[in-house]
Structures are given as structure tokens and as C-alpha cells.
């Protein structure tokens, strides 16, 4: 594993939007996480999950890890909701105290504002 060749996934996958999910973990735990994910949207409508910071998600298959070599392509999803559910699964693996937490409530709170 090396940090010498960072893959520019924005260019490779023509990304158009992303959401930092570390704020979701902060909301659920009350603390800023040591590792975080992004939910990423591509111009062609696909979605994927990518490590934003930290190393805790490095061993989870399907997650984009642009700072690790060799780089492996992420799992792609046809909708934001599918990618979000995968991200929730990954987050609960890394933060097992959240296993019973309904992480979708975080997005419901956003809708209320």
C-alpha cells in the first residue's frame, strides 16, 4: 500500500457531485470520526462510495480507495439510495456501535430544515 500514486477518481469516473458522510457519523456518535466516506455521483448516473479520510475502510470490498495501490475500481450503483445503503453497511462495519442505528434518520433531519 502506498500513498505515492493517488488516483483522480473525479477525472476517471467523471464525477459531478459528492457528499461527505463523516457528518452523518458525527451526528450518530457525537464525535468526528477517525475515518470517513464520500457518496459520489458520476455524470452517467452511476454512484459509488469512496474513502474520504482515514484507513478504517481500506479493507472493505467495493469501496474506492484512491490513495492505495494497486487501485481497484469501486462497486457502482444505479441509484443514490443503493449507494447510500452500501455506505451505511460499510459505516456499521467500521463503527459497530451504530449497528442498530437507523442512519437514514440523518437525511430525514435535513428534510425538516
pLDDT at 110: 55
Instruction: Name the residue ranges covered by the structural domains of the chain.
Output: 9-103
Residue 107, pLDDT score: 85
- The pLDDT assigned to 5 comes to 79
CB atoms within 10 A of CB 55: 13
Q: What residues of the chain score a pLDDT lower than 70?
A: 1-4, 109-113
Under 8 Å between Cβ of 71 and 48: no
Contact call for residues 50 and 87 (beta carbons, < 8 A): no
pLDDT for position 4: 60
Q: Which residues lie below 8 Å from residue 12, measured CB to CB, with a gap of 6+?
A: none
Report pLDDT for 34.
96
Burial of 78 (C-beta count, 10 Å sphere; 0-12/13-18/19+): exposed
The residues with which 37 forms a beta bridge, in sequence order, are 51
Amino acid at each position: 500500500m502506498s500513498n505515492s500514486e493517488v488516483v483522480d477518481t473525479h477525472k476517471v469516473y467523471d464525477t459531478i457531485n459528492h457528499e461527505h458522510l463523516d457528518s452523518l457519523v458525527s451526528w450518530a456518535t457525537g464525535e468526528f470520526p477517525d475515518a470517513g466516506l464520500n457518496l459520489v455521483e458520476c455524470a452517467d448516473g452511476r454512484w459509488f462510495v469512496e474513502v474520504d479520510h482515514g484507513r478504517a475502510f481500506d479493507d472493505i470490498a467495493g469501496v474506492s480507495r484512491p490513495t492505495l495501490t494497486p487501485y481497484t475500481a469501486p462497486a457502482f450503483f444505479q441509484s443514490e439510495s443503493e449507494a447510500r445503503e452500501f455506505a451505511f453497511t460499510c459505516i456499521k462495519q467500521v463503527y459497530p456501535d451504530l449497528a442498530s442505528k437507523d442512519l437514514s434518520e440523518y437525511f430525514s433531519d435535513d428534510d425538516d430544515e
